[in-house]
Amino acid sequence: MNLVENKMEKIITDEHWDEIIEPRSKLFDLRLKEVWRYRDLLILFVKRDFAAQYKQTILGPLWHLIQPVFTTIVFLFVFKSIAGIQTDGINATLFFMSGITIWNYFSACLTGTSNTFVANAGIFGKVYFPRLVIPLSTVLSNIIKFVIQFFVLFLVMVWIGFKEQYFYFGATWLLIPLLVVMMAGMGLGLGIIISSLTTKYRDFTVLIGFAVQLLMYLTPIAYPLSILKGKSYAWLLQYNPLTPIVEAFRYALLGKGSFEPLHLLYSAIFILTTLFFGAVIFNKVERSFMDTV
Amino acid sequence: MSDTVIKVENISKQYRLGDVGTGALAHDVNKWWHKVRGKENPYLKIGEINDRATKADSDYVWALKNINFEVKQGEVLGIIGRNGAGKSTLLKILSKTTTPTTGSIKLKGRIASLLEVGTGFHPELSGRENIFLNGAILGMTKQEIKSKFDEIVDFAGVERYIDTPVKRYSSGMYVRLAFGVAAHLEPEILIVDEVLAVGDAEFQKKALGKMKDVSEKGGRTVLFVSHNMGAISTLCDRGLLLINGNVNCNDNIESVVKQYLNTGLNSNADFKNTNNNLNESIYSIKISNESENSTFNFAKPIKIFFSIKHLSKIKGTTIGIAIKDRWQQKIFTDTFVIPEYNLNKLESKIEVIIPSKILLTGLYFVDAAIFLQNQQPFEYLTEVCSFEIEDLESELSTYSNSNIGSFYLKCDWNVK
């Protein structure tokens, strides 16, 4: 009798459950496999973002062309004509425009992912899917925007190349995809950390708006890093992990300027750390954010 | 091997009431400080049962407290309870949109929820695009959706509009499409919450039939939340009655529905309003009966007394009642304009008499409202009290075992 009971108990405890919902999950259980299972959803979100953004606009994706062109014109006026900044021997138009293009991608990723929870509270509250799909889709749909802007940059390069009889195209171009991925990682990592914090305290939403703007001036977008040589505050830019990426992007694209592989490694380590901690915090918040959002 | 697919063990959920502000930060710091020292979360100890009508003493409340139940494969479980009893919280935990404070739930198979259909529908996208998007949100792969696409469109009956943005759809079409996607999901466990509120009668029938199909032929498990006792009774095998976050009853569906209907049955049908912020308020409703219980004889009139507090004294203030049958369908409504001289008093006592031989045997609910015509009511009380009619002697009493409706009207019959 006792034996039978024991056996029964064993069967019950051995029972296989597909899923166990509990108050707390393991801190480092990031469920990335699940994200992969939802890859179709990821692609559909990207399509949705892109399609929905231009419904009922006349210019559609052309808006992506207008923004960097006008920003470049303003930068040329303010930083070149008024402030007289030297651009490392690079054509000023290309210098500004390349900086703006890569910066736009970062800032779009960061601001886009940073309101993941607040903007999607409605859908998150009703159905479960790995929440990480949303920030990932933001990063991916911004790539489309980046490619369009990069194409404009390329056209401007060709045009200026004809004018100046100088056109650079080399193996360093192969570095560009890596740099874009790094920017995506940086935007995503910081974005998901901020999005996790905003669920309870909205203060961060206000912060992110101008922090991105200020951060741009701490990154060599409107001026080259070289003009700070010997200045006491140059460290501010040197420790900015975005600096090496922007500099390397210009170097890779235009073949001129400064570029230090070791600095890029520093950025890569910074990005990986941010991404890891971001994913851990995000994972912790996503499970119960509906109660506080 | 047991065929239990859902095992809920000691699930509790605590919510913080009120606003998240600097006070919340102080609590967070305190919680963290307790955690650092290895102590228990100090806010888990407090918290009261969740009775929304009474004023809270603390900022924390238990929306669910120690819930335990199991569901077997292929079962259709109806979850019943009044507003705020914790039904939605339970479903939210089951569908993983939030986590429990304590306890665990063990599941077998894929779970999908229809907590309001059309989740993730984008108004700018066409029906076709939304089917794919919504399907993917609910956990289907692109291939699965593709193979079911025609079936979904057919089920929803929106073929003509399939390439039109859904913002141009009528609300009924919208729900049809959304339910169509969800119904073809084929998860092992389906959670359905009040989806049938919209949609015409034909579609409601179709949706209920589909749900029945899913459980009977597909052998899948369905958890169904609704206030529609008619739908619950026909669809479910078993019921779970939640009252203030506790399981009150977990039995076969007939007895649970009966228990639920009886919980609304206050023996003296007395209601006291504690909300003092209203301009005009009903603070007491009493259904009177000589025998001091709420069962009335078919042959006797029903008297309902209202006590109303007047503060605004606006001319034209009207009081109204609606009588609902046991399926919560309104049978009739009547109103009464409070006379001017009464408004000058602090309080009015008003009596309404429902004539005898009108309401047939069964259970009835009373809605009461105080309002100005064509304006937002000062107060609308849903199903504040209830009463039962029994018929022992009239000529209709012999039919009491068959459904003869709830409203009696004597007609003229002539032989010609």
pLDDT in tens, B254-267: 888 877 776 655 54
What are the C-alpha distances in Å from A234 to residues A80, B119, B126, B141? 21, 50, 53, 51
CATH topology of domain B270-399: Coagulation Factor XIII; Chain A, domain 1 (2.70.50)
Q: Which residue has the higher pLDDT, A185 or A83?
A: A185
Whether residue A2 is predicted with pLDDT greater than 60 in this model: the reply is no
B49 touches chain A (CB under 8 A): no
Chain A neighbors of B104, CB-CB under 8 A: 20-23
User: Can you give the pLDDT at residue B253?
Assistant: 83
Cβ <8 Å between B98 and A18? no
Per residue in B287-334, pLDDT (tens digit) is 776 665 667 888 888 888 888 877 777 788 889 999 988 777 889 999
Cβ <8 Å between B106 and A38? no
Whether residue B372 is predicted with pLDDT greater than 70 in this model: the reply is yes
Q: Which residue has the higher pLDDT, A88 or A277?
A: A277
User: Can you give the pLDDT at residue B272?
Assistant: 54
Lowest-confidence pick of A28-37, A242-251, B267-276, B305-314: B267-276
Return mean pLDDT, chain A.
84
Residue intervals in chain B for CATH 2.70.50.60: 270-399
User: Can you give the pLDDT at residue A104?
Assistant: 93
Q: Which residue has the higher pLDDT, B365 or B262?
A: B365
User: Can you give the pLDDT at residue A186?
Assistant: 94
- Read off the pLDDT of each residue in B390-394 and give the average, rounded to a whole number: 78
Whether residue A248 is predicted with pLDDT greater than 70 in this model: the reply is yes
User: Can you give the pLDDT at residue A5?
Assistant: 47
CA closest to A284 among chain B residues: B99
Residue B144 region by backbone torsions, left for phi larger than 0, else alpha for psi between -120 and 50, else beta? alpha
CA closest to A126 among chain B residues: B115
DSSP label at residue B399: G
- Read off the pLDDT of each residue in A237-241 and give the average, rounded to a whole number: 88
The whole-angstrom separation of Cα B409 and Cα A172 is 91
Chain A neighbors of B16, CB-CB under 8 A: 291
Whether residue B165 is predicted with pLDDT greater than 70 in this model: the reply is yes
User: Can you give the pLDDT at residue B400?
Assistant: 66
User: Can you give the pLDDT at residue B21?
Assistant: 57
CA closest to B144 among chain A residues: A40
A266 touches chain B (CB under 8 A): no
User: Can you give the pLDDT at residue A25?
Assistant: 67
Chain A neighbors of B115, CB-CB under 8 A: 125-127
Per residue in B106-156, pLDDT (tens digit) is 888 888 776 666 667 888 888 898 899 888 888 888 888 999 999 889 888
A74 touches chain B (CB under 8 A): no
Whether residue A39 is predicted with pLDDT greater than 80 in this model: the reply is yes
Of A11, A19, A290, nearest to B98 by CB-CB distance is: A290
The residues in B 137-156 lying below 8 A from A, measured between CB atoms, are 137-142
Chain A neighbors of B112, CB-CB under 8 A: 127
A233 touches chain B (CB under 8 A): no
- Overall size of chain B counted in residues: 416
CA closest to B13 among chain A residues: A23
Of B98, B100, B106, nearest to A17 by CB-CB distance is: B106
User: Can you give the pLDDT at residue A10?
Assistant: 43
User: Can you give the pLDDT at residue A267?
Assistant: 94
Chain B neighbors of A47, CB-CB under 8 A: 129
A29 touches chain B (CB under 8 A): no
pLDDT confidence tier of residue B50, bands split at 50, 70 and 90:
low
Chain A neighbors of B108, CB-CB under 8 A: 16-18
User: Can you give the pLDDT at residue B200?
Assistant: 66
The residues in B 152-211 lying below 8 A from A, measured between CB atoms, are 165
Cβ <8 Å between A21 and B98? no
Cβ <8 Å between A128 and B95? yes
The whole-angstrom separation of Cα B185 and Cα B152 is 10
DSSP string, B300-326: S-EEEEEEEE-SS--TT-EEEEEEE-T
Rounded to a whole number of angstroms, the distance from the CA of B237 to the nearest CA of chain A is 24
pLDDT confidence tier of residue B268, bands split at 50, 70 and 90:
very low
Cβ <8 Å between A288 and B99? yes
Return mean pLDDT, chain B.
79
User: Can you give the pLDDT at residue A190?
Assistant: 93
Rounded to a whole number of angstroms, the distance from the CA of A38 to the nearest CA of chain B is 7
Whether residue B351 is predicted with pLDDT greater than 50 in this model: the reply is yes
Rounded to a whole number of angstroms, the distance from the CA of B350 to the nearest CA of chain A is 43
Chains A & B: contacts with CB separation below 8 Å = 114
Q: Which of A44, A136, A196 to mutate to test the interface with B (most CBs of B within 10 A)?
A: A44
Per residue in B196-253, pLDDT (tens digit) is 555 566 777 777 777 777 777 778 888 888 777 777 877 888 999 888 888 888 888 8
pLDDT confidence tier of residue A4, bands split at 50, 70 and 90:
very low
User: Can you give the pLDDT at residue A3?
Assistant: 47
B5 touches chain A (CB under 8 A): no
pLDDT confidence tier of residue A7, bands split at 50, 70 and 90:
very low
Residue intervals in chain B for CATH 3.40.50.300: 4-110+187-263
Determine how β-strand B330-337 pairs with β-strand B270-272: unpaired
Cβ <8 Å between B133 and A23? no
Rounded to a whole number of angstroms, the distance from the CA of B136 to the nearest CA of chain A is 5
CA closest to B190 among chain A residues: A127
Cβ <8 Å between B104 and A21? yes
User: Can you give the pLDDT at residue B178?
Assistant: 83
Phi/psi for B99 (5° steps) reads -110, 155
Contact in structure between B289 and B386 (CB atoms under 8 Å): no
Per residue in A100-158, pLDDT (tens digit) is 999 999 999 999 998 888 888 888 877 888 889 999 999 999 998 899 999 999 999 99
Cβ <8 Å between A201 and B25? yes
Whether residue B353 is predicted with pLDDT greater than 60 in this model: the reply is yes
CATH match of B4-110+187-263 with 3.20.80.10: no
User: Can you give the pLDDT at residue A191?
Assistant: 93
